[in-house]
């Protein structure tokens, strides 16, 4: 199964302080909008998302159809195919993508320790 680009989405208290900290670690801004309180930062193949006031806990994120530079990767496993695979393996979903659609969609699943995993397809 191809899950796409991996990143961790961090819930931060101060987007400006977090940006400065991760820049000191060698990360650069890849995307997002500081004025909207979120940034995507990159260091080599490592991606982190900084999100202020958007969610409570950190989230593991996969983006089917994208590489670590947000470039389209073909072929890729559609989010609904991944969701169906998990359902077939009796994995409970915290939220689900509409299986009667195509294109961008997402779903969330919790791992056995309560960590949220977001499968977020943008294409």
The pLDDT value recorded for residue 68 is 92
> For the chain, what is the radius of gyration of the CA atoms?
15
CA angle 32, 43, 28 (to 5 degrees): 45
Confidence (pTM): 0.91
Q: Which fold has domain 5-121?
A: 2,3-Dihydroxybiphenyl 1,2-Dioxygenase; domain 1 (3.10.180)
Q: Where are the domains of the chain?
A: 5-121
As a whole number, mean pLDDT of residues 13-32 equals 97
- Kindly state the average pLDDT of the residues 68-95: 96
**Helix or strand or coil: residue 100?**
coil
Contact 53, 37 (CB under 8 A): yes
CA–CA dist 16, 20 (Å, integer): 6
């Amino acid at each position: 199964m191809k899950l796409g680009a991996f990143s961790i989405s961090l819930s931060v208290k101060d987007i400006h302080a977090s940006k400065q900290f991760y820049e000191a670690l060698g990360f650069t801004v890849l995307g997002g909008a500081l004025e909207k309180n979120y940034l995507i930062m990159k260091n080599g193949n490592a991606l982190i998302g900084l999100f202020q006031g958007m969610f409570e806990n950190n989230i593991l994120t996969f983006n089917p159809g994208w590489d670590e530079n947000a470039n389209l990767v073909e072929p890729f496993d559609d989010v609904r195919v991944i969701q169906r695979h998990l359902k077939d393996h009796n994995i409970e979903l915290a939220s689900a993508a509409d299986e009667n659609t195509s294109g961008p969609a997402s779903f969330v699943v919790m791992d056995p320790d309560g960590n949220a995993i977001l499968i977020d397809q943008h294409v």
